[in-house]
Chain A
């Protein structure tokens, strides 16, 4: 159940450039952070051994990227439905029951995303006065990843909730079986 399959099912028309970026925004931000943190730690090892001179603040910068990769990547996980849960109970429900539970689950996930988003902003504001040990950057830049990730999660939860709602209202069910299978 990865993104490309579902996107391709949307229709033969090639989506606009803006749309394509929007569909992959987590991979762009999170993937960038992922590559950056790998490169930083590796280059730092090389500097330490080859030039005997580690880069100051490299670890800090790498963990900053890690925070961004995790929270933004979590939204990619929502879009691709990779967050594992227990499904064997709900799978036994009739279609409408499944849609109802699916909608409730999406709402609960949104509630959690909202909670960490709001309190993430609070942390961000208070983080202004807290500085990282070496680079002396305000923690705002670390904590900003939380509301950004939470907002993206909400964006990705919306179509999922809408689909369950449509099914609940009696729209023709399609792809229910495909949806149950998760990698």
Chain B
């Protein structure tokens, strides 16, 4: 009888606007306070357990490295390269917006961070050049989905921790899906821009020499994902160590190589990363406490049985998961869903022979798309707040981009090779 009450309380608290971490914590407190033999001390212990984990320490490191690398001066170099590569295409600046997210994704593991950069730097230029503001905002939000999939990615890191899957493989497995997302969005941009008459940013393709010049300027920044993946592949670093190395590398490149960041800038970057880390980790901890309550009440077993009752065909069940996560992703925050659903779903699919790395990419991509779909989407909120458009205005322009994202999701779900080919090639079977 307790669990329906917990779920009802959670729904009510979330609807009232209680922040997600607090709503999850308060709802699970009902369980911890009312069930005999369980103490709220367990709740606090479950929450603190996620911060006592060495693997999850990688989360703040990658957040910090991303925050340093995407500062003004550095992000302009990357933007220059993106412009040289695709600025000559129809809908030039929108294409640049998408490609820029691929590059930013190599430095930052968060869709919010990427969307915030494009919203601040690119959207004003786009509007000035005649793009409609909601369209520019929609491209920015949709391309925010790329960053968490291109390594490093916070969601993949957390999945790897919960499902006990190699983070190196997950990261490398994200490269092809990330590029497919970019391709899909660029096609969508092409169609919409052709219809609206959004022009090219430059009349001709940039000469090779100019592309090389921009690439060399951005090289130090673009080397970061190479450093991370190289270290993980060779087994030189654990993911946490790779995060710390990335953080220090970012500071050195920002202060000494590019000289875009002074020692005084580091304080605010640390403060910003601290708060961002705390927000994610508090949700993670509260979801962890809720998960423990669910396990106590045997909810995962019941749900797994219900899933098997529908079908035991892998493809049918994957479709079901796609649909379930897309719907849940619309109304709930991704990290919380990842923590709660991974332990429930992963064993079912592993048993059916789905590769753990493949499944991880499917789940994380699915939930990241949820971050741009209304009514609840963190990337959506970020872009709306910065650009100054309403959620409704942005949503009206989202259609073609959402379609592109979902098509790629299905490609990635039903062609496991798109995920597995590269890690198997680089790291062996």
Contact = CB atoms under 8 A, between A and B. Distances in A.
> Do A and B share a complex?
yes
Interface of A: 26-27, 30-31, 34-35, 37-38, 41-42, 44-45, 49, 59, 62-63, 66-67, 69-74, 76-77, 80, 82-90, 101-102, 104-105, 108-109, 111-112, 115-116, 119-120, 122-123, 142-143, 145-146, 181-183
B15 to A, nearest CB: 5
Nearest to B64: A38
B278 A77 contact: yes
B240 A70 contact: no
28 contacts: A27-B270, A31-B267, A34-B270, A38-B60, A38-B61, A38-B248, A41-B243, A44-B241, A45-B237, A49-B236, A66-B57, A69-B60, A69-B274, A70-B282, A76-B278, A83-B19, A83-B20, A84-B19, A85-B14, A88-B391, A89-B16, A89-B17, A105-B16, A108-B13, A108-B18, A119-B40, A122-B41, A183-B385
Nearest to A89: B15
Nearest to B116: A183
Interface stretch (B42-50, B210-218, B317-325): B42-50
A160 B44 CA distance: 25
A90 B40 CA distance: 30
User: Which residue of A63, A70, A90, A123 has the most chain B CB atoms within 10 A of its CB atom?
Assistant: A70
Contacts of B245: 42, 45
Interface of B: 13-23, 25-26, 29, 39-41, 43-45, 47-48, 51-54, 56-57, 60-61, 64, 116, 236-237, 240-241, 243-245, 247-248, 267, 270-271, 273-279, 281-282, 285, 333, 374-376, 378, 381-382, 385-386, 391
User: Which residue of A67, A69, A90, A182 has the most chain B CB atoms within 10 A of its CB atom?
Assistant: A69
B267 A183 contact: no
A41 B240 contact: yes
Contacts of A45: 237, 241, 244-245
A86 B52 contact: no
Nearest to B40: A119
Contacts of B236: 49
A62 B278 CA distance: 16
A179 to B, nearest CB: 12
Given A37-B57, A41-B57, A83-B22, A71 B381 contact: no
Given A30-B278, A41-B240, A67 B52 contact: yes
A108 B21 CA distance: 12
Contacts of A123: 41, 44-45, 48
A58 to B, nearest CB: 10
Contact of B17 (A62, A69, A85, A143): A85
A82 B275 contact: yes
Majority secondary structure of chain B interface residues (helix, strand, loop or mixed)? helix
A82 B278 CA distance: 10
- The 9 A-B pairs at the shortest CB distance, nearest first, are namely A73-B278, A83-B19, A41-B244, A85-B19, A67-B51, A42-B244, A73-B274, A74-B278, A70-B281
A27 B274 contact: yes
Contacts of A115: 25, 29, 40, 43
A62 B45 CA distance: 18
Contact of A74 (B45, B60, B282, B382): B282
A34 B52 contact: no
B258 to A, nearest CB: 20
A171 to B, nearest CB: 21
Contacts of B267: 27, 31
A146 B241 contact: no
A13 to B, nearest CB: 23
A42 B274 contact: no
Contacts of B277: 34, 69-70, 73
A61 to B, nearest CB: 11
Contacts of A112: 22, 25-26, 29
Nearest to B289: A116
Given A66-B52, A119-B44, A142-B52, A105 B274 contact: no
Contacts of A49: 236
Contacts of A72: 278
A106 B202 CA distance: 51
B51 A63 contact: yes
A31 B64 CA distance: 11
Contacts of B25: 112, 115-116
B96 to A, nearest CB: 23
A109 B18 contact: yes
A70 B50 CA distance: 10
B60 A34 contact: yes
B20 A85 contact: yes
Contacts of A59: 54
B47 A116 contact: yes
Given A35-B270, A85-B23, A70 B378 contact: no
Contacts of A80: 275
B383 to A, nearest CB: 11
Nearest to B49: A67
Contacts of A89: 15-17
B12 to A, nearest CB: 10
A77 B274 CA distance: 9
Nearest to B24: A112
Contacts of A143: 48
Nearest to A122: B41
Nearest to A75: B278
A142 B16 contact: no
